[in-house]
Amino acid sequence: MRAVTFQAPHEVRVEDKPEPELEAADDAIVRVDATGVCGSDLHIYHGRVQIDPGFTIGHEFVGTVLTAGDQVTSVSEGDRVLGCFHTACGRCFFCMRGWYMKCDEARVFGHGATLGSLQGTQAEQALVPTANLTLRRVPEGVSDEVALFAGDVMGTGYHSITAAGVRAGDLVAVLGLGPVGLCAAQAALAAGAAHVVAIDTVEERLEMARSFGAEPVHLTEGDPRGYVKKATGGRGVDVAVDAVGHPDALELAIRLARKCGTVSVVGVYAERVEVHMGLAWIKSLNMVTGHANVIAHVDPVLELIAAGKLDPSPLVTHHMPLDDAAEAYELYDKREALKIVLTP
Ligand SMILES: [Zn+2]
Ligand SMILES: [Zn+2]
C-alpha cells in the first residue's frame, strides 16, 4: 500500500509499505478514505519531533473498517468510521476518570517512537489499536471531510469551550483564528455564547469568523482590549481562549478575561514562558490547559456536526490525492491552506 513517510526535515515521500495486520484482539484495520494534514504534522515536517525516516505520518482519518479483532464491539467490518488522533487504554487511572488524553498508554498516530510507535494514517490503510475507544461510526449524511474534524481539530476547539465551562449568554474571546480557533468560535456560538470576539491578523480568517457569527477584531489594526471593554461594559469576557500558543496571546487573554473568569489555553506550550501571574491572581482567574480530551468529546461533537450546529466544511480549502503529499506539505507550510484533505 502507499503511505506518506517522513524522510528528513522538509522532505516527505509517498512510499510502498506492507499492509498492516491485526496485532491485538481489540485492533481494527481501516481503509483510509480521507486523511487531513494538520498543524502538528508541520512540527514533524520541520524536524522538531524526533521521528525515524520511513515512518508513516498523519493522524486524522475517516475510512471503512476492513477487519476487526474479536474484542472490537463498537464498530464492525464495512462500517464508515472516523478515528481520534490518539488511542487510550480505557483501564488506567486516567482513563477510569475520563481523562483519556492523559492515558498512561496513549499512542498518537504518526508521531514516531516518542508517542507510541503507531504508524500514521496518511496511507491507504491504518492499524487502529483499542478500536472501541479510538473509532466511531460516521453519522448518516456527514461527509468524510467534515467527519475528519471530529477526531482532532473540532474536538480541540470544542474542548477549549466546554472545559472552560462556557454557558448560554456568555461573552467569549478567541485569540488566533487557525483551524482550532475557528472551531472554538463555532463551538462557543453552539454553546449559546452571546458574543464571540474573534481576534487575528489575517483578513480571510477574520472574515470566516464573521461568517460563523463571531465579531472579528484585527489584532493590530483594531483594538481588541477597547472592543471587549465596550462590548462588556468594562467587565471583560467570561472566557478568553488562547488558540495561538504564544506568551503574547496568553497575556492578552489574561487581560481580556473578567474577574473570576477563565483563560482556556489550547495553543501548544512546551517551554517556560513568562506570564503576568500577578494580574491572573488579582483577577482570580481560572486556567484550563493541556491537550484536548478528544475521545471524551467525539460523540457530542459528532452529534452537533450531524445537527448542523458545528460545520467545519468552510475550513477545507484544498483537496489533493495522497500521491501529491509532498506538494500538500509544501503548500501547508506556506500557510496557504487552512485544511488540506488527502484522498488515497
Ligand atoms: Zn492534528
Ligand atoms: Zn489509559
Query: Which pLDDT value is given to residue 280?
Result: 96
Contact residues for 177 (Cβ-Cβ < 8 A; gap 6+): 185, 198, 199, 200, 202, 205, 206, 208, 209, 243
pLDDT at 120 over 90: yes
In the predicted model, what is the mean pLDDT of residues 135-161? 96
Give me ligand 1 centre to Cα 334, in Å: 17
pLDDT at 343 over 90: yes
| pLDDT band for position 50 (cuts 50, 70, 90) | confident
Q: Write out pLDDT tens, residues 247-275.
A: 999 999 999 999 999 999 999 898 899 99
The 10 Å Cβ neighbour count of residue 211 is: 10
| pLDDT band for position 39 (cuts 50, 70, 90) | confident
Give me ligand 1 centre to Cα 39, in Å: 6
The reported pTM is 0.94
Pick the ligand that lies closest to the CA of residue 58: 1
Give me ligand 2 centre to Cα 115, in Å: 14
pLDDT at 311 over 90: yes
State percent of the chain over pLDDT 70: 100
Query: Which pLDDT value is given to residue 270?
Result: 83
Pick the ligand that lies closest to the CA of residue 101: 2
- Residue pair 235/260 in contact (Cβ under 8 Å)? The answer is no
In the predicted model, what is the mean pLDDT of residues 33-44? 93
State percent of the chain over pLDDT 90: 95
| pLDDT band for position 336 (cuts 50, 70, 90) | confident
Phi, then psi, of 272 in degrees rounded to 5: -65, 130
Give me ligand 2 centre to Cα 128, in Å: 15
Give me ligand 1 centre to Cα 179, in Å: 10
Give me ligand 1 centre to Cα 287, in Å: 23
pLDDT, the chain, mean: 96
